[in-house]
């Protein structure tokens, strides 16, 4: 009864000692290979069971190499240096504690997608380029997004302490011209301020104050949305402190932490916002998200407002572009602009280093260029 079955399963051979051996025929680079693996059993049915598992695993690979087959053999026989770890049993979140909540979600989603595309019996040590290619075929995202996902998966292996060939994760992305969000024009800014003027005394007064403050400071949306009363100093030399001194505050980078002067117009806005409030009170009543801070609601509102008004190619961030452009066109030194904005502007040698030596008056004079169209 065994003979016909044996002939069909030509990858299963019987040694002179009666031990079954798995043999795979492989031709590559015009050379013929027959890598073998002892199944350590004289029981034909048991040998068939083990051989079938090996055959299915190898057959699932696209153009397997001799190294791929040897890796499968090593994993199967338990001779690998590390104990085989099933991918499906790995909770990647345990290795991402150094990342933000948002980044952890990106890593986890990408890793789960990768593991789900493989056999449930796949182990950490058995992964080869063919598995990466197999997963890529299941993805329908853009090339740019794919490049990011490959980087995330590669990083996951690194965090797991598993060495992999970085060439597996390389992907050439054809660069296409990207149209960045442009700066608002003076006319568009006036239209925005006019459209939001009715919210000054509204419960959601952030609709009035946020665009005006950002237009006159160039700050990022989250930097203003997360402000507390204690961040504002309204003395003889009034200032606005952009910082991350609270658990719910976030800054883009260390250079974003800065102290800004307040013009008369800005001082008036902050006087109204801080009146009658304690130092720990938030300036605006906005919902908080651990991933995005306080920006979700205002970001959606202003995006919808721009869309409704028919203004294209802009977002709330265009107010920051407006401020930068206005300062440049007014002749303000780019090092000073970089100091005010909290990031490097331009690529000159001096522009690569933050210039903290500008006086209060110099920074105040620069901000005064932004008052002209931002007081409506």
According to the model, what pLDDT value does residue 15 have? 82
Of 242 and 122, which is predicted with more confidence?
242
pLDDT over threshold 70, residue 201 = yes
According to the model, what pLDDT value does residue 81 have? 43
- 367-373-374-376 Cα dihedral, nearest 10 degrees: 150
Mean pLDDT of 202-229: 96
Mean pLDDT of 158-168: 88
Write out pLDDT tens, residues 117-136.
988 888 888 889 989 999 99
According to the model, what pLDDT value does residue 47 have? 85
pLDDT over threshold 50, residue 8 = no
Q: Write the CB contacts of 203 (distance below 8 Å, at least 6 apart in sequence).
A: 285
* Backbone φ, ψ for residue 350 (5° rounding): -70, -25
User: How far, CA to CA in Å, does 235 sit from each of 14, 81, 143, 238, 271?
Assistant: 93, 68, 53, 5, 11
Q: Indicate the pTM of the whole model.
A: 0.54
According to the model, what pLDDT value does residue 230 have? 96
186-370 CATH choice from 1.10.10.10, 1.10.443.10, 3.40.50.300, 3.30.460.80: 1.10.443.10
């Amino acid at each position: 009864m065994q003979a016909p079955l044996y002939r069909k399963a030509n990858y299963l051979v019987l040694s002179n000692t009666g031990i079954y051996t798995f043999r795979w025929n492989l031709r590559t680079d015009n050379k013929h290979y027959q890598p073998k693996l002892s199944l350590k059993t004289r029981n034909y049915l048991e040998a068939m069971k083990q051989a079938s598992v090996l055959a299915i695993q190898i057959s699932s690979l696209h153009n397997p190499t001799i190294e791929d087959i040897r890796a499968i053999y090593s994993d199967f026989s338990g001779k690998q240096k590390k104990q085989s770890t099933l991918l499906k049993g790995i909770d990647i979140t345990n290795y991402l504690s150094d990342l933000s909540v948002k980044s952890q979600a990106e890593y986890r989603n990408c890793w789960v997608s990768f593991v789900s595309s493989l056999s449930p019996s796949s182990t950490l040590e058995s992964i080869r380029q063919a598995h990466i290619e197999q997963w890529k075929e299941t993805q329908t995202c853009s090339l740019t997004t794919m490049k990011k996902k490959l980087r995330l998966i590669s990083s996951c292996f690194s965090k797991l302490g598993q060495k992999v060939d970085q060439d597996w994760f390389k992907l050439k992305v054809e660069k296409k011209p990207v149209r960045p969000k442009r700066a608002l024009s003076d006319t568009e800014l006036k239209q925005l301020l006019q459209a939001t003027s009715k919210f000054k005394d509204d419960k959601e007064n952030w609709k009035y104050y946020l665009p005006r403050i950002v237009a006159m400071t160039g700050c990022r949306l989250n930097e203003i949305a997360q402000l507390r009363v204690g961040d504002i100093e309204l003395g003889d030399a009034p200032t606005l402190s952009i910082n991350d001194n609270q658990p719910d505050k976030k800054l883009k980078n260390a250079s974003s932490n800065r102290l800004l002067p307040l013009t008369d117009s800005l001082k008036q806005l902050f006087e109204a916002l801080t009146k009658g409030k304690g130092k720990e009170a938030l300036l605006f009543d906005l919902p908080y998200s651990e991933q995005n801070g306080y920006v979700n609601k205002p970001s959606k509102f202003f995006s919808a407002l721009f869309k409704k008004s028919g203004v294209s190619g802009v977002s709330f961030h265009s107010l920051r572009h407006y401020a930068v452009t206005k300062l440049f066109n007014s002749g303000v030194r780019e090092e000073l602009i970089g100091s005010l904005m909290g990031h490097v502007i331009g690529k000159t040698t001096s522009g690569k280093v933050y210039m903290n030596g500008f006086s209060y008056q110099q920074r105040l004079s620069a901000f005064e260029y932004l008052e002209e169209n931002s007081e409506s």
